[in-house]
Structure 1
């Protein structure tokens, strides 16, 4: 959410920021609402002040036996007029908040301009793309060949874009999550957390999913299924005023995530790339503003460390202006090489996004810290990143480790968790 004072004081800068986002919203249209509201606020204050003064004068006149009828009539007129003005002011306040809630974050100056993913900036690549003496197949063919990945059964139970994993693949899901959590907690100092998978509307609003992205979410009664653990983890500090000495707060969680994928009709309909239910290990940092840029680099490195442990080739991209998400001011994407995609020609696919949201979410959540020197409160900075998407990591393990006989060699880091060095066909 944006600070209306910033828009008042820097309208040209705001307009330039929205132009980079390709958002049809000008400072003048926002300030028109703001100006009308402030005028009503001023009118309310003047009327309330006059009512208070007149009420005191009435008391004095009555005490001295004077005629207070004119003042009484004036106070009654003010009382009659106040509710209408209060309602109009409240309507404008709601309208202003609604507009501000729909506007994306201002991008960091380092974010490259661009229209979409084709304009993202390559930062670096890691690992060698594997070569095969045969044409590699995708994870669907591999998983079904192993007899442990069943999309038909998922459809029977829940519909399209669901899967049932069994045997070694079910254990691999658990093993990957354990490896990720163990790494983030023991090596990087994140606090393992188990948050609710159902949250209220206020929580969804705090991180920016509501009101703009309601169609991408699943709702049950008055609660929402989380699309990522970013939502409950970040909102843990909602409404709080923290002391700087406890920052940064770093949390990690393994959860199921639920997305309707309303805006992705026809995309990635095969396999586990894009499902309605998937699991993810999430990282969230609550940071002092001075440290959030460095925290983003650190968080991205934590996600990279998992890919390196799993011996998976990947690349890191800085997202351009047209591809950066609503709440983020800057994002790094990690893309893993999947050799079985594109009919065996292979391609990079996103496996993690790490974002610095600056004060954008904190302002929505009213999450602040108190400066020790001035005593004033300031908004915190929030960051989030996948560490990693478990399903897509499984896809990468399958496709990069596949053998011509249909078995899959596992990276050494998984051997203790799996009790084996390879995946084999499940016996009937």
Structure 2
């Protein structure tokens, strides 16, 4: 028994998305007459390739997805028609299966071709968002100051933060968050850099005082050595003078015993006076030196106290800064997560409402504008006993 055949008449011409409303005879013709299907395929291909994609607006991207959906609907309608063929047509199962396979392959190719601009845009958008995420993570990491970082290291981080570029086309919806993060990082690094400069200046001053102390101690040691040498020289001269006097005394002893005794007494008195003067000078020098050393020890202790206080304050500030940065980062992450959820909810609602609009257009046979108005009215709760589940 021969399978029934049919051809497409001018009144039966269809495009992507219209096949679901055609009669079974026309659908059978598309499945069994390769030329009829090729004619339909050419019409759908023309419609797909004549469409000018607009990726700059949500409406344009939805139009791309809608066109791909129409092609899928045509494929599904033809595939379902093939499954529901009469018993006579099932005898030609190989022909029908070949047609179905070809239909699926061709229409899948057209679907992919129709959606390619949107697919490319989605991939580029995902890559852009990843770049933004990496850039913001790097910006936040600049405030992760180590305990042993000096002012030069922090200055380099500050320079990098100030040079951080926020391209509106790249950052888009996160541009304001990025600007706020950059301002926060620059402010924190600027304050910390100034603090490190003050601490380094204090340490340099302490080192200078220590060097001066060492130089004073060396000078004092040299002065003492010079005084020792002068003292020994004086004693040597005194001994020589005493020996000379003794020799003179012995020579003149017989003639001037009385005078020699007087000179000896005078010599002893001079030596005693010299000794007392020397001891008094040494005591005075020791007292002055001890006073200088006491004053210097007090200055050194005060400088040490200031340095220790500055170090303790720096550590406390670093810990407080770390806590503030953690709190700020947690807040920024929460804001970013809330923004992401709002965006996801908006996209989900748009997708659900778009599907509802397509269903109304398909099953109720109304225009796209009427379907869109109906969906918006339902979502706004203006249609009693009817709702959209998101």
TM-score w.r.t. structure 1 length?
A: 0.25
Higher relative contact order (CA 8 A, sep 6+): 1
Q: If you compute each CA radius of gyration, which structure gives the higher value, 1 or 2? A: 2
Task: Name the one with the larger strand percent.
Answer: 1
Task: Name the one with the larger helix percent.
Answer: 2
